[in-house]
Amino acid sequence: MTIIKDQFYINGAWRPTAGHEAIDVHSPTDGALLARIPQGVAADADAAVAAARGAFEAWAATAPAQRANYLKKIQEGLKARSEEIARCITLEMGMPYKSSLRIQVGTPTATFGMYARMLGDFPFEEQVGHSKVLREPVGVVVAITPWNYPLHQIAAKVAAALAAGCTIVLKPSEVAPLNAFALAEIVHDAGVPPGVFNLVTGYGPDIGEALVGHAEVDMVSFTGSTHAGKRISQLAAATVKRVALELGGKSAGIVLDDADFKVAIQAVVGNCYQNAGQTCTAQTRLLVPERRYDEAAGLAVAAAREFCPGDPLDPATTLGPLASKAQQARVRDYIRKGQAAGCELLTGGADPLPQVPPAGYYVAPTLFGRVDPQAVIAQEEIFGPVLSIITYRDEDDAVRIANGTPYGLAGGVWSASDAHAESVARRLRTGQVDINGGPFNLLAPFGGYKQSGNGRELGKYGLEEFLEFKALQFRPPPKA
């Protein structure tokens, strides 16, 4: 049964759209029509921004404890509907259901709870000499989010912005939008005042650009491609909006000579193939010592072949489809480019997989060996299950290679000791580095260097992105 969404959530109610066109949402598992959502137009952007602007003053004036209470109710609503939303995201974008439940829903649920707790003692005011420094909400925020971790990226923006006292207009990706409609229902049930949270959908060049360029919008927070991020920066510059960008990555997993190769290489392969490689922080370059290439390649091939492509609702599946047909074509094209450039194809490839529905958007877990660091597949973000093994001469060479792309979002270093790994990690020009497989931390800042973007999400750093500083200067007391 096709799911039909034909209204936007604006000013606390579901209302008809100004446009008359719809966008088809297809199942990545078999290409079937899954849903239809509204294709928003500029008039919808105007209505949503007007609602957010109208609600801003009152919302900004609410006590932090009151905002925390709303965030806690949203967390509880997500938790109550976690299985339903996890299945929805699996159907929308293809992550295996068990992983969707833990990552795609569990993480954003925790994010709302984190910001609810943080408001208990966040320093919105502090005394600095004879000045009182205030942290105040930046204003009306437009959040534009991607399809790969759709609800997680929504939560990272929406929870932090609401905690800061901002009002929001959310435009989720049209590829995986249904989870955003579920969140709007939860926000409504939590009693969040009208206009504080608004939801519209549509294409980036249409309603997205109308929102970014809107004179009544104070800030744009965007997660997506570097190409789109550059366009947003250009549009936002006309009104000198604040812009926070979380863009692409080409992260390196560096295995140092003293590391446990079996553990390290299996972990880097798993990191690369999680979510079918559709992760901005994916370690898609495996850097190993030249003299141990054969050993590393053998371990990587064995690890890659353990991944089982298939129906993401099947518990046996460990590699789901890509989110869209366009993404499948893009990834297959990169694989062919790698082969044409003479990179050694060790396993996988661009050919269709026999064990999955032919109309599904699947790509085999693919591994290239002896890849030149300047090759296209080693420089550009592929966003699919494609890993390149690159050799290095010494640690200086490894650092040079790791830093030798336009990106700087994440990475990993493996060694026999954390101290040795840390000494290399400190030299990487990247926003996050996993030391010997250190897990993701919601309290740590998330964001990148160079063309991976600017600004940070999550933890107190993500809250600060949505705040302005105001200094009140008082006359110092007379000297005794």
Q: Which residues are catalytic?
A: 246, 280
The closest alpha carbon to 192, from 12, 338, 20, belongs to 12
The closest alpha carbon to 430, from 269, 281, 265, belongs to 281
**Neighbour tally for 478: CB within 10 Å:** 5
CB 234 within 8 A of CB 382: no
CB 450 within 8 A of CB 429: yes
Using DSSP bridges, classify how beta strands 13-16 and 7-10 pair: parallel, antiparallel or unpaired: antiparallel
The closest alpha carbon to 464, from 452, 440, 447, belongs to 447
CB 60 within 8 A of CB 52: no
Q: Max Cα separation, the chain? A: 87
φ, ψ dihedrals at 428, nearest 5°: -85, 135
Q: E strand or H helix at 37, and its extent?
A: strand 33-38
CB 68 within 8 A of CB 120: yes
Q: Tokens 């109550």 map to which residue? A: 80
CB 17 within 8 A of CB 195: no
Q: Across the beta sheet with 219-223, what order do the strands follow?
A: 13-16, 7-10, 197-199, 167-171, 140-144, 219-223, 242-246, 453-454
CB 148 within 8 A of CB 93: yes
DSSP 455: S
Which residues does 342 contact at the CB level (< 8 Å), separation at least 6? none
Distance, CA of 149 to CA of 66 (rounded, Å): 29
Give the dihedral of Cα atoms 383, 345, 332, 311; nearest 10 deg. -80
